[in-house]
Structure 1
Amino acid sequence: MATLSQVPHLLRAARGEKVDRPPVWMMRQAGRYMKVYRDLRDKYPSFRERSENPDLAIEISLQPFRAFQPDGVILFSDILTPLPGMGIPFDIVESRGPIIDPPIRSMEQIEQLHALDPETSLPFIRTILQTLRQEVGNQATVLGFVGAPWTLAAYAIEGKSSKDYAVIKRMAFSAPQILHAFLEKLADAIAIYVRYQIDCGAQVVQMFDSWAGQLSPQDYDVFALPYQQRVFRQVKATHPDTPLILYINGSAGILERMAQSGADIVSVDWTVDMADARRRLGSEVGVQGNMDPCALFGSQDFIRDRIFDTVRKAGNHRHIFNLGHGVLPSTPEENVAFFFETAKQLDKLLAMPV
């Protein structure tokens, strides 16, 4: 049985165990703000090659670990990665984002989709996650991640990113039976994918429902929440001890609903004061976040003050320190380094008088 020192810091916090300081990682921590990543991207311009070639994905996943020693190392991938395994091809075009052509618009298309077999369609995921576990050992927790049913459906039905999500909302409000059939298939595939990531080495998995914040609370209850629950319920049935995180961008109006999803930890964006988030979510739900990514453009004193403010409001129980969204591409690397250095000294700094 692993001793306490052998269990990574973030994993202990995610399980609700006592830790000396909040663990810290950053969403999108592997990526465009790092020169080493941009250099590699110039050499390998295809995003899918970078994320599906094990050697490249492992290297990219480890770049911020080598540079900053975060408590979490997240799989470099994309939320759309499992879709081709269901029969939905996609591409990612630099500066334009994901493209799905043809988009999913009919019941006939949905009926032609097939169950996900990740061992066949996503074998690179096993190689990447197993290698990451070997590389980081007990120094960090390896995180997997997936997209949520509503968000994957939004991409697949719109065919691309959207500002108003009018196409999927039109389907939701005029032909809901088609959308529900699609969401059910997506939820079951995502549950399979989460379990596969855990079996391959992921110790914590975060689900991104990036576009659920575009729904009204009453529509979130119909088209997002039940399918988040469907995924988490299936995963917990087979992997009850693996902590699960839920993130939604623009979630201020639905925080309490997120806590009903079955996630162990709710990742909070920066539009909610962390003290309010703690009060609204209750003591049984862990929290992650939630510093504004733009705070990393401030001075070191400003960054330090924001870190202290967030952590003091969250308290040192079941809190994973993070940004409220992904680190921005133009963020200075030296400020990212300072962010991690400060956060990893919090056990000493928080003991000092204010």
Structure 2
Amino acid sequence: MSASKPFPPLKNDLILRAARGEKTERAPVWVMRQAGRYLPEFRAERVENDFFKICRTPELATKVTLQPIDRYAGLLDASIIFSDILVVPQAMGMTVEMIPGKGPHFPDPLVLPQDMTTKLKEKVDVQKELQYVFDAITMTRHELDGRVPLIGFVGAPWTLMAYMIEGGGSKTLSKAKEWLFKYPKASQELLGRITDVCIDFLVGQVRAGAQMLQVFDSWGGELSPQDFDLFSLPYLTQIAKRVKAELGSEAVPMTVFAKGSWYALDQLSDIGYDAVSLDWTHTPESAKAITKGRVTLQGNMDPNVLFGGDEAIIAAVEKMVRGFGSTERYIANLGHGILPTVPVEAMELFLKTVHRVGLEVAAESADKQ
């Protein structure tokens, strides 16, 4: 499907306005991993198709992206393209498998710096290697029919580097951190190469139809503040600045999410992103005090609250939305991705409560003026 065919007009731009810092009538809401394993319709799709087959087949990726939008009609203010952060290492020449019950697995990870020469492509043609993502984005934009904006995304360089060296998930990241301390120059070279691919990928996603972007540094909090300054922050900064420079007037709002990097909130608010997504280790009061209105804040309910029953969900949403406010520089979300065993009814209650409380807070605010 060609991106040159005009996209349907957007009917709900709430999240785009919030990200740009404009006043909103209520807080927009979406959920990280909203198209995924907690949905029975997604699990049914996975019985028939391998995870990366869904990612690589635009029709399937579109279908899965739309599942939560259809199920929670009128309750979500954004869709996020169904893909995976590890398509970038795949594009760079590495094999990544998704093993049921275990997660991602690299059969041949990077072990020594010289592996960058033998295991990675010298130059990555992102347009060729990741065209399937661009096609899925274009197709999804048309299928959404303007109901909500479409978010594109990428993994942050440090998080991707860690996967590429660890060969999958890790509790200690000891292999990846060994690189940082033993081979700092090689680490920075690898981070730079990943950054270049991420930038081309994000630019391509916008040109294919993405209306907002998010950068996920899922393992940012595994770094000390000093190491975050050396091995994550400079590359996150490059991504925001270079993507916006390359897109120029086509630029879209960008969000950064560095999970666990609570110490970096002030810096993350100053490097070119429109929004900063927060995990549950922040309070609304402290986050607002640190950011001082420089960025839109997104988040940040602990996903495990969704297992706590109706009263717990309602209480947590009340506290969150009232704490962050509903009409200025705020996007409601979880503090990380929704977990695979969350009941669909819990997600629905979360979304409905965000809407209700958001409208109440907006009305109370209007009454005071």
TM range (shorter): over 0.9
Structure 2 residue 234 is the aligned partner of structure 1 residue 226: yes
Q: CA deviation at 1:109?
A: 2.7
Amino acid of the structure 1 residue aligned with 2:45: L
- Kept in 1: contact 2:152–2:205 (CA 8 A): yes
5 Å matches for 1:137-216?
A: 137-216=145-224
Q: TM-score, normalised by structure 1?
A: 0.94
Q: TM-score, normalised by structure 2?
A: 0.90
Q: For 1:84 and 1:352, how far apart are their aligned partners in 2? A: 49
Number of aligned positions between the proteins: 351
- Kept in 1: contact 2:59–2:139 (CA 8 A): no
Q: For 1:6 and 1:331, how far apart are their aligned partners in 2? A: 29
Q: For 1:194 and 1:201, how far apart are their aligned partners in 2? A: 11
Structure 2 residue 54 is the aligned partner of structure 1 residue 50: yes
Structure 2 residue 316 is the aligned partner of structure 1 residue 310: no
Tell me, what secondary structure is at the counterpart of 1:143?
strand
| 1:82 counterpart residue number | 88
| 1:278 counterpart residue number | 288
- Kept in 1: contact 2:30–2:333 (CA 8 A): yes
Bigger drift between 337-346 and 63-72 goes to 337-346
- Kept in 1: contact 2:78–2:148 (CA 8 A): yes
Structure 2 residue 293 is the aligned partner of structure 1 residue 289: no
- Kept in 2: contact 1:116–1:192 (CA 8 A): no
Tell me, what secondary structure is at the counterpart of 1:289?
strand
- Kept in 2: contact 1:103–1:159 (CA 8 A): yes
- Kept in 1: contact 2:166–2:173 (CA 8 A): yes
| 1:131 counterpart residue number | 139
| 2:108 counterpart residue number | 102
Q: For 2:112 and 2:195, how far apart are their aligned partners in 1? A: 18
Bigger drift between 243-252 and 293-302 goes to 293-302
Q: Deviations over 1:85-110 (max 9, x none)?
A: 22222111112221223212333332
Amino acid of the structure 1 residue aligned with 2:200: I
Q: Deviations over 1:266-288 (max 9, x none)?
A: 10001111221111122111110
Q: CA deviation at 1:252?
A: 2.1
- Kept in 2: contact 1:267–1:289 (CA 8 A): yes
- Kept in 1: contact 2:35–2:64 (CA 8 A): yes
Q: CA deviation at 1:226?
A: 0.6
Amino acid of the structure 1 residue aligned with 2:345: E
- Kept in 1: contact 2:321–2:358 (CA 8 A): no
- Kept in 2: contact 1:100–1:156 (CA 8 A): yes
Q: CA deviation at 1:313?
A: 1.5
| 2:354 counterpart residue number | 343
Task: Report the aligned-residue RMSD.
Answer: 2.0
Stretches of structure 2 lacking an aligned partner (at least 5 in a row):
1-6
- Kept in 2: contact 1:188–1:230 (CA 8 A): no
- Kept in 1: contact 2:303–2:334 (CA 8 A): yes
Structure 2 residue 329 is the aligned partner of structure 1 residue 329: no
Instruction: Evaluate the alpha carbon distance shift between residue 31 and residue 344 of structure 1 in structure 2; reply closer, same or farther with a 3 A threshold.
Output: same
Amino acid of the structure 2 residue aligned with 1:294: N
Instruction: Evaluate the alpha carbon distance shift between residue 306 and residue 186 of structure 1 in structure 2; reply closer, same or farther with a 3 A threshold.
Output: same
Tell me, what secondary structure is at the counterpart of 1:296?
helix
Tell me, what secondary structure is at the counterpart of 1:17?
coil
Q: CA deviation at 1:304?
A: 2.2
Q: CA deviation at 1:174?
A: 1.3
